[in-house]
Structure formats: C-alpha cells, structure tokens
C-alpha cells in the first residue's frame, strides 16, 4: 500500500508533517475542547502546541525533538486527556530504572490512585488509568490477548529509536503491530534517524495517518569543556554552534 507525506507547517524550529494513506485528505487540526485537559505553568513551544492539537484530535504522532526540548509535555497531555475521557493510557520505557523513575514522577503529578507500575520485578496498582511498564511487559500482555486493552486510548513509546536495536528492536515492532486499531500511539525520540520511513511503515500497517513533529535545533545550548588532570580550570573546546574556538 502507498502513502503520501504532506508538510503541514514549517517554523524556525519546528516542522510538522503528516503521513497518510494515498488518497486521504485530513481535515485541519482543531482543539476539540474549550478547556484544555492539562494546564502547564509555562508557555509552550510551537511544537508542543501542535502536538497537543494532534492528541486532542486523537491521531497518532511521532515527536522527534532534541534532548531537553520538552517532549514530556506531550506525553503528560495525552495522559490528562485520557483521564478526562475516562480512558486509560500506557507509558512504556526501555529499561526498568526509567520505568521506576517515571512512575514516581507521574505519581506526584497525577496522584497515587491514578498511576500504576508493571515491571518484571514489581506490580503496583495494576488497574490504574495510567500504567508505566517496560516494552517487554507490554508485549507479554499483548500475547495473552485479554480484554486488558479495551479501555486503553493511548500507548506512549518513549525512546522509540530502540526499535533499531539489533537485539531488542523486535519487541517494539511486535508491540506496535499487535496493538488493537482503536488505540492511538505516541512515539518519542531525540535520536531517531529515519522518522519518515518509520511513519510510512506505521501508516501502511495501521491504515491510519501519523503526524511527525520535529525540531531543527536543540533549545538548550550544549558546550564541551576539557578539564586536564592537575588543572585549576576548564577549557572550552566546542561552543554551542559546534565550532572549535
């Protein structure tokens, strides 16, 4: 099956594209509720605002934004939107340590009763509307073919570039394939190199559109310094523009 890639919007630090099955024309995005599902204590960047609109319109998306750009905002909004609709959401991470940390963060944000954790070592509040788990646990649950996913509105795949891992990538691929068609999927990555190829694969697989939101540059400057042994100071070796002084 063929797909088509359309550029929706291009700003100085954001590119919004959508991959759709050929012949399909999507209506313009709009905020479907006058009151947002979640209010942040800081102004949102254009890529965050656009991604939230996509979540409101219940369409899958890949957020390929630089480290520290604020991808977490999008996942938090998807969780809040699911809670507002009395649905549940699954957040997956590649390793147990990240799952444990995310569980603690979300418990603080959404409350103890709303957040659960499932790893190979521990299960906490399994019936919570927001469930944090490793991708391996998600795949194992999908294998069992229970009604576990009937109320799930979103599955969030953090660090989706792990799909390119030779040893573990199949776990992500199988999970995406096995998820029921009613579930929307949110993919987060700062290092994915084949965003359009991945989106085209997803579009063909699910027969559904998927948006790509990407940033052009890192919002937080990155400097490289050298601290020689025995030195009393550091020396800048690469500045924020990637230039050797």
What structural domains and CATH numbers belong to the chain?
Answer: 3-220 (3.40.50.300)
Nearest of 79, 69, 86, 136 to residue 102 by alpha carbon: 79
Contacts of 53 (CB under 8 A, 6+ apart): 29, 30, 31
The answer to whether 134 and 95 have CB atoms below 8 angstroms apart is: yes
CA distances from 174 to 133, 140, 205, 208 (A): 16, 10, 12, 18
Kindly report the CA angle at 122 between 118 and 123, in degrees rounded to 5? 50
Element (H, E) at 168: none
Average pLDDT over residues 177-203: 94
**pLDDT recorded at residue 25:** 80
The answer to whether 24 and 49 have CB atoms below 8 angstroms apart is: no
**pLDDT recorded at residue 90:** 98
pLDDT at 221 over 60: no
Which has more confidence, 237 or 169? Answer: 169
**pLDDT recorded at residue 229:** 76
pLDDT at 200 over 80: yes
Task: Report the chain's mean pLDDT, rounded to a whole number.
Answer: 89
pLDDT at 237 over 80: no
pLDDT at 219 over 60: no
Kindly report the CA angle at 205 between 199 and 206, in degrees rounded to 5? 90
**pLDDT recorded at residue 32:** 77
């Amino acid at each position: 099956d063929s797909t088509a890639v359309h550029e929706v919007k291009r700003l100085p630090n954001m590119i919004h594209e959508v991959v759709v099955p050929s012949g399909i024309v999507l209506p313009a995005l709009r905020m479907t509720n006058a009151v947002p599902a979640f209010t942040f204590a800081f102004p949102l960047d254009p890529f965050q605002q656009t991604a939230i609109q996509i979540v409101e319109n219940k369409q899958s998306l890949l957020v390929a934004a630089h480290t520290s750009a604020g991808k977490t905002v999008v996942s938090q909004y998807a969780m809040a939107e699911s809670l507002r609709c009395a649905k549940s959401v699954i957040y997956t991470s590649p390793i147990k340590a990240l799952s444990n940390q995310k569980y603690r963060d979300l418990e603080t944000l959404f409350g103890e009763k709303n957040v659960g954790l499932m790893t190979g070592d521990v299960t906490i509040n399994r019936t919570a509307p927001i469930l944090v788990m490793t991708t391996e646990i998600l795949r194992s649950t999908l294998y069992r073919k229970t009604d576990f996913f009937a109320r799930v509105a979103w599955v969030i795949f953090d660090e989706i570039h792990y799909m390119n891992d030779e040893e573990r990538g199949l776990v992500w691929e199988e999970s995406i394939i096995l998820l029921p068609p009613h579930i929307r999927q949110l993919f987060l990555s700062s290092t994915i190199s084949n965003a359009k190829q991945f989106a085209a694969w997803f579009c063909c697989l699910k027969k559904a559109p998927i948006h790509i939101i990407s940033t052009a540059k890192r919002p937080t400057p990155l400097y490289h310094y050298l601290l020689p042994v025995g030195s009393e100071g550091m020396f800048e070796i690469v500045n924020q523009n990637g230039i050797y002084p």
